[in-house]
Structure 1
């Protein structure tokens, strides 16, 4: 029996935030943004809540029916390279709401915006989370493939930033390839911007 996936609504908000928080506690980028285990446990969930709210309002959150996984997708319209998002007020607003004294909350948003491809409209996989005890069972692949099937039908590319070598390998198996140069966070880990062209039927 396959993984049952549905679109999340406001009623799913708390479970999505909890799942993102659990799944990303040990992620290299989360550890860089919130250094120190106690600090991260106390603060990290607020950033996950901010991300969830943005995508519930502007994109699409998909969840597995059993609650084991979720994926946050944003539709990105076609735009000129000079239009980038790095100068807008969004990153500063998120920092103010989440952790005002932590400049890395704002910096990560600006750095990833700077490497985000301009030009063609595409689907952006902002985050994907699988419950730690369910990782390695294909839940993440099923969540990604659900949207990639739609991308293929609509002839839309997809984009993401892999935050670990392990996740990069998973995305490569799903048809993503490195685009541009990796992003090396200041005194931190590497992120890999990855792009997938739609596949014809």
Structure 2
């Protein structure tokens, strides 16, 4: 993996994410069934299949175009809160990356920071609320730290994935304070958050893809 990622590399990341979502569709829905509507996996799979089809139909030439297409497709095809939240994350990433065609680790970190800020603005969640934020926030911090140290994409992403997985696992003992899971009160404790799980898959996909 070089020090920059091309549009083709970003495209392969999105496709790897779609594959991971399809692979884990049932387990994601099972996680959601415990504290939500039980359709998170199916919804995200539908959205990512549509996103891949949209990329096939009209391959984007810039990072902004790619993530904007992804974000708009997810918003329009994924139901519940996941569509607006993941869609906002992707749209903000695209806006931050702009018309770049080669992305450095620092640019990627800045893009994901913008995505994180978009989720906070949209969902009003905070770390510890048992949401996707609990995996994304530590992952972004790890990416930023790695980029500041001059790490290449592979090392930066390894650190981000590790942080996201730790954040995902940390949602298990949390009391949900946002979304449908919050209606369960104490019964939400002991269950892994499906949104945080999907964030970890998103970052894992970057390591699997030929960036």
Q: TM-score normalized by structure 2?
A: 0.34
As a proportion of its length, which structure holds more helix? 2
Structure having greater relative contact order (Cα 8 Å, sep ≥ 6): 2
By percentage of residues, which structure has more strand?
1
- The TM-score, its normalising length taken from structure 1, stands at 0.35
